[in-house]
Structure 1
Amino acid sequence: MEWVRKYDLYGESGLLKQPNVRGTPDFKEEIVRIVLEKKVPLVQVVLQYGVSKTALERWVRSVRVEGYGVLHQQKNRERLPKDMSRSKKHEPETELEKLQAENARLRAENALLKKVTALVKEREAREHMSGQKPSKN
């Protein structure tokens, strides 16, 4: 068990949460070479260098598939914009676009009114069947 090995190596401090090691590409390559070429067990490398086991497994897997160059590639991490609100709506510019927008709004309004009417009728029918008087709300 990994935690037993950590305790044996570092004592109680080895059981505390350790900060994540963000290795340089050269560091990653060095420890992956230790695992792959020198056949040092993954667990031993994790304990010795303080890297995450899952990160090391991912690096080794990537190198096996794509070679050592994959460790030197820059990841393009796109950040989400700080303002997570909706993007601004496109304002209709031409008369045709304005009419199409109004038509879409009126269709949605019409569909909503039909739905409300159907729900009111359904509620009145249920109340009629149960013998209750419909409420005025």
Structure 2
Amino acid sequence: MSKHSLAEKLNLVSQVNKGKPIKRLSKDSHIREGMLLEWVRKYDLFGESGLQKQPNIRATPDFKEEVVRLIMEKHLPLPQVVLQYGVSKSALESWIRMVKANGYASLHQQKKRGRPPKAMGRSKKREPETELEQLQTENT
């Protein structure tokens, strides 16, 4: 569940559209100014549906590359791409950092996730390495 309800978002956006200063609304409602601006932009572009919670998308490597190229090569502003493609700002910033550090190929690499599997079963008996170990195994 989201922290702010759709009704609350609509109320704040309508107050901004009526001319109430964002700074004051931000202080009164304890919401960052940037978040309020994002809601206003989404509302202007998509209407009420822009303020509703969107399902998480599983971005393919090709999609990631396309979006990052728009920002890095065509110099589109980050907020515009975020709104246009419905990608979170933090995910997009992460992809850009990856490309700057390791190139576009880093977006196509598969990352292993989670804890590595535990080796199951008993450990095998090892062969005695020294003469002393051989003699001890013969005596038992």
Q: TM-score interval w.r.t. the shorter chain?
A: 0.5 to 0.7
What is residue 103 of structure 2 aligned with on the other side?
Answer: 67
Q: 2:112 aligned to 65, 70, 76, which one?
A: 76
Q: 1:28 aligned to 64, 68, 72, which one?
A: 64
Q: 2:87 aligned to 46, 51, 67, which one?
A: 51
What is residue 3 of structure 1 aligned with on the other side?
Answer: 39
Give the distance between the partners of 1:66 and 1:4, measured in 2 at CA: 35
Give the TM-score normalised by the residue count of structure 1: 0.56
Structure 1 pair 71/5, CA: closer, same or farther in 2 (3 Å)? same
Q: Residue 79 of structure 1: CA displacement? A: 5.0
Give the distance between the partners of 1:58 and 1:40, measured in 2 at CA: 17
Give the distance between the partners of 2:116 and 2:46, measured in 1 at CA: 40
Q: Residue 80 of structure 1: CA displacement? A: 7.9
Q: Residue 33 of structure 1: CA displacement? A: 0.2
Q: Alpha-carbon deviations, 1:40-93, whole Å to 9, x = none?
A: 011101111111111001001111111101100001012588xxxxxxxxxxxx
Tell me the percent identity: 70
State the superposition RMSD in angstroms.
1.4
Give the distance between the partners of 1:79 and 1:50, measured in 2 at CA: 30
Give the distance between the partners of 2:44 and 2:57, measured in 1 at CA: 21
Give the distance between the partners of 2:115 and 2:51, measured in 1 at CA: 33
Q: Residue 31 of structure 1: CA displacement? A: 0.3
Write the mapping of 1:58-137 to structure 2, written as runs, cut at 5 A: 58-78=94-114
Displacement over 3 Å in runs of 4+: none
Give the distance between the partners of 1:20 and 1:79, measured in 2 at CA: 23
**How many equivalent residue pairs?**
81
When Rg is computed on C-alpha atoms for both structures, the one with the higher figure is 1
Determine if contact 1:20/1:52 at 8 Å carries over to the other structure.
Answer: no
Structure 1 pair 3/80, CA: closer, same or farther in 2 (3 Å)? farther
What is residue 52 of structure 2 aligned with on the other side?
Answer: 16
